[in-house]
């Protein structure tokens, strides 16, 4: 979502600020701005829309300075326009802010009563005005920051520059991430480590309750009570090379094509050489969490939630453990009792998803044992979990998640095997057979990718549709949900998914000759039931697209408009393989409709506010 970037250096940092914002742009935004101290005063430039608008403005009205702050805004309070864009400022201070100030209506009213004038509709503007109020009373910048922070309720990461202290940056964190990087020429601050420049030598993640005071040569960190803290700067392990499209038109397409390697890498991280007796050695740290558990709760949002839904089928059918599946934004409010011998699993690509993080904290407060599956191993969720299972997907830049979903399935599959072994439902021989079957999953995915021209043709047939239905039965149902989500996310076609057996309970009323229905149905023991549902919608004129194997397509050939054939494979592999053509379908439909595939409207890569 919103992105923060700041720098203090020996030379002008305007270009570095724009470059940093560009590195943050994959997170989603609708306006951007910078503020720098130009030697006399704090100068600000803001623009609605893409970074190119801000760059054009800076060409017409340039600024220069060796210290500054920058921001990409994803609107939560107020319209996405220049007035509401960050930085927000007064004559004495400029501030960029991520998060939500929950008590801003009271603070706004208080400040207005004291004669302070608001220019924007945002909650964030209360911060510079509060700081200014304390400066007007004679407080120092640091004291003004601390007194302001003490009044804020909600989550925030913020960075400020002061007119009276033009060689210092102040940064504070409470609930939203901030990382500080040190380079030879100074310091950089970002809400995302991936945005830091290549020349960073060492970095430090602020923790909740930290206030950092930063000059070109020095970093000092204290708590919100003013007590100095020790936070080590950790040497950087090298710069990621994943910010290039490598010849692909979009990051999303590149990341779809990375999935064969991603799945295998994640699986091998945990199982190593599965022919050895020490297979699953990497899961030893979670043995005490999964041993003898009688119930598991899985909590996640969006695509991660659908990965959890697949895992529910796996864990219950293979490991014999009942699974409660919860949407993270609802989990805390159900007041669910914690059961004896249970564990909670939280899934998030970024490890910063606000609702999932809040759910994790709620579970820990209830005494629940918690572990998380994340892609970012130094994220807040990773740090606060009892055990973290990294998915090793690498940086995912496309807002619509693809390779992270596949890597999550790999990690969840390993958790399933671990539970089954501990519950005595899987022998070493069973495990060896299963893992042997998975040895060629990368080849299966590669095979699907090599047939993308078929998916392109299907995409042409539905790209002008206004609506679409997806349906599946059993473990194919969460795949239908994920397929519908991908299509609506990036093509803006209204798409919904239903269990195949539920179609007669209402959704069939939507079916007509203009309605494409994408059916996910491998020819397993449930296929005959799905085929019956398929006939029902076919008799009402629906345009049916079937994803199945050769046997399934042959049985349904008289009822479908188009089909995509996947190879026969063990049922355990089906969620991994069947998801790929639906990712490609969404991608090609979106490109045909001319939408912004990597940064679709209104969406953010990491949802860091509730």
Token pair 């801000």 is at which residue?
54
CA distance 344 to 430: 26
pLDDT for residue 286: 62
* Confidence class for position 155, pLDDT limits 50, 70, 90: confident
Interval 477-494 mean pLDDT: 97
Indicate the domain borders of the chain.
3-235, 246-439, 450-598
pLDDT for residue 283: 62
Domain 3-235: which topology?
3.60.20
Residues above pLDDT 90, as percent of the chain: 70
- Residue 525: CB atoms within 10 A of its CB come to 8
**Residue 279: is its pLDDT beyond 90?**
no
Token pair 């149902």 is at which residue?
477
CA distance 358 to 370: 12
**Residue 340: is its pLDDT beyond 80?**
no
The beta strand positions in 437-477, using DSSP E, are 467-472
Interval 267-275 mean pLDDT: 74
CA distance 580 to 585: 9
pLDDT for residue 237: 65
* Confidence class for position 610, pLDDT limits 50, 70, 90: low
Indicate the average pLDDT of the chain.
91
Interval 196-205 mean pLDDT: 91
Interval 84-90 mean pLDDT: 96
- Before 87, cis peptide (omega within 30)? yes
CB-based contact 495:467 (threshold 8 Å): yes
* Confidence class for position 452, pLDDT limits 50, 70, 90: very high
* Confidence class for position 57, pLDDT limits 50, 70, 90: very high
CA distance 75 to 123: 11
> Nearest CA to 4 among 146, 161, 141, 154?
161
pLDDT tens readout for residues 293-308:
889 999 999 999 999 9
* pLDDT higher at 464 or 604: 464
> Nearest CA to 34 among 602, 24, 26, 397?
24
Interval 434-441 mean pLDDT: 87
CA distance 298 to 247: 37
Helix count and strand count (H, E) for the chain: 20, 25
CA distance 412 to 309: 10
CA distance 245 to 606: 20
3-state secondary structure at position 87:
coil
- Residue 130: CB atoms within 10 A of its CB come to 26
3-state secondary structure at position 452:
helix
3-state secondary structure at position 67:
strand
CA distance 254 to 528: 36
Q: In angstroms, what is the C-alpha Rg of the chain?
A: 26
How would DSSP label each residue in 478-507?
Answer: HHHHHHHHHHHHHH--EEEEEEGGGGGGTG
3-state secondary structure at position 96:
strand
Interval 232-240 mean pLDDT: 72
> Nearest CA to 292 among 151, 419, 158?
419
* Confidence class for position 277, pLDDT limits 50, 70, 90: very low
How would DSSP label each residue in 539-565?
Answer: TTT-EEEEEE-HHHHHHHTTT-SEEEE
pLDDT tens readout for residues 400-416:
999 999 999 999 999 99
2 carries an active-site annotation: yes
* Confidence class for position 227, pLDDT limits 50, 70, 90: very high
pLDDT for residue 251: 94
pLDDT for residue 188: 97
Active-site hit among 2, 204, 301, 370:
2
The full length of the chain comes to 610
605 carries an active-site annotation: yes
**Residue 186: is its pLDDT beyond 50?**
yes
CA distance 87 to 488: 32
* Confidence class for position 236, pLDDT limits 50, 70, 90: confident
* Confidence class for position 275, pLDDT limits 50, 70, 90: very low
* pLDDT higher at 217 or 504: 217
Token pair 């040190």 is at which residue?
182
What are the angstrom distances between the C-alpha of 509 and each of 502, 503, 504, 512?
12, 9, 8, 8
Q: Which CATH class is domain 246-439?
A: alpha beta
Domain 246-439 and domain 450-598, same fold? Reply is: yes
pLDDT for residue 287: 66
pLDDT for residue 256: 97
Q: Phi first, then psi: what are they for 134, rounded to 5°?
A: -75, -35
427 exposed, middle or buried (CB, 10 Å; 0-12, 13-18, 19+)?
A: exposed
pLDDT for residue 501: 87
pLDDT tens readout for residues 570-591:
999 999 999 999 999 999 999 9
- Residue 440: CB atoms within 10 A of its CB come to 15
Token pair 């069939």 is at which residue?
508
Q: Please give the DSSP secondary-structure letter assigned to residue 151.
A: T
99: left (phi > 0), else alpha (psi -120 to 50), else beta? left
pLDDT for residue 25: 86
Work out the angle at residue 377's Cα, subtended by the Cα atoms of residues 422 and 87, and round it to the nearest 5 degrees: 145
Interval 219-238 mean pLDDT: 87
**Residue 281: is its pLDDT beyond 70?**
no
By DSSP bridging, strand 42-48 and strand 31-37 are antiparallel
450-598 placed in CATH 3.40.605.10: no
- Of 78-82, 403-407, 605-609, the one with minimum mean pLDDT is 605-609
Active-site hit among 264, 312, 488, 605:
605
> Nearest CA to 493 among 452, 456, 462, 454?
462
């Amino acid at each position: 979502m919103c992105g923060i970037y700041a720098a203090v250096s020996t030379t002008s940092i305007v270009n570095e600020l724009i470059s940093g914002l560009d590195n943050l742009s994959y997170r989603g935004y609708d306006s951007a701005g910078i503020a720098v101290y130009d030697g006399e005063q704090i100068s600000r430039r803001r623009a609605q829309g893409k970074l190119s608008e801000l760059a054009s403005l800076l060409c017409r009205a340039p600024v220069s300075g060796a210290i500054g702050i920058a921001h990409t805004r994803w609107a939560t309070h107020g319209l996405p326009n220049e007035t509401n864009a960050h930085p927000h400022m007064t004559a004495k201070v400029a501030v960029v802010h991520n998060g939500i100030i929950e008590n801003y209506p009271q603070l706004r009213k208080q400040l207005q009563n004291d004669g302070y004038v608001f220019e924007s509709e945002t909650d964030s503007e209360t911060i510079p005005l509060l700081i200014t109020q304390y400066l007007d009373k004679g407080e120092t910048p640091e004291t003004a920051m601390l007194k302001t922070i003490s009044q804020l309720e909600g989550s925030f990461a913020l960075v400020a520059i002061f007119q009276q202290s033009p060689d210092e940056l102040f940064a504070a964190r409470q609930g939203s991430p901030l990382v500080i990087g040190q380079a030879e020429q100074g310091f950089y601050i970002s809400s995302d480590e991936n945005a830091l420049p290549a020349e960073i030598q060492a970095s430090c993640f602020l923790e909740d309750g930290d206030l950092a005071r930063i000059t070109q040569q020095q970093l000092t960190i204290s708590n919100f009570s003013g007590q100095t803290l020790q936070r080590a700067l950790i040497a950087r392990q090298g710069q990621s090379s994943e910010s290039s499209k490598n010849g692909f038109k979009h990051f999303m397409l590149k990341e779809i094509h990375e999935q064969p390697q991603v799945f295998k890498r994640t699986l091998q991280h945990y199982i190593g050489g599965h022919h050895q007796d020490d297979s699953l050695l990497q899961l030893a740290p979670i043995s005490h969490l999964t041993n003898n558990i009688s119930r598991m709760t899985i909590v996640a949002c969006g695509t991660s939630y659908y990965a959890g839904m697949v895992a529910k089928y796996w864990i219950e059918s293979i490991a014999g453990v009942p699974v409660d599946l919860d949407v993270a934004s609802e989990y805390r409010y159900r007041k669910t009792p914690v059961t004896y011998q249970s564990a909670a699993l939280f899934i998030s690509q970024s490890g910063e998803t606000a609702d999932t993080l809040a759910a994790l904290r709620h579970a820990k407060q209830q005494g629940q044992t918690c572990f998380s599956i994340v892609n970012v191993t130094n994220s807040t969720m990773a740090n606060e979990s009892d055990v973290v299972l990294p998915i090793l997907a690498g940086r995912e830049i496309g807002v619509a998640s693809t390779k992270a979903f596949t890597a999550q399935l790999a990690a969840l599959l390993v958790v399933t095997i671990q539970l089954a072994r501990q519950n005595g439902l899987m022998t070493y021989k069973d495990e060896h057979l299963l893992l042997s079957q998975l040895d060629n999953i990368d080849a299966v995915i590669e095979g699907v990718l090599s047939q993308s021209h078929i998916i392109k043709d299907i995409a042409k047939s539905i790209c002008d549709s206004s609506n679409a239905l997806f349906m599946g039965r059993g473990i194919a149902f969460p795949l239908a949900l994920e397929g519908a989500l991908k299509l609506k996310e990036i093509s803006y076609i209204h798409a919904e998914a239903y269990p195949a057996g539920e179609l007669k309970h209402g959704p069939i009323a939507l079916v007509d000759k203009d309605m494409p229905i994408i059916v996910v149905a491998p020819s397993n023991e449930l296929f005959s039931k799905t085929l019956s549902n398929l006939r029902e919608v076919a008799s009402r004129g629906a345009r049916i697209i079937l994803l199945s194997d050769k046997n399934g397509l042959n049985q349904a050939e008289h009822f479908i408009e188009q089909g995509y054939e996947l190879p026969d494979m063990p049922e355990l592999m089906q969620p991994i393989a069947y998801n790929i053509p639906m990712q490609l379908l969404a991608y090609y439909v979106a490109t045909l409709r001319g939408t912004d595939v990597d940064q679709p409207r209104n969406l953010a890569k990491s949802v860091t506010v509730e």
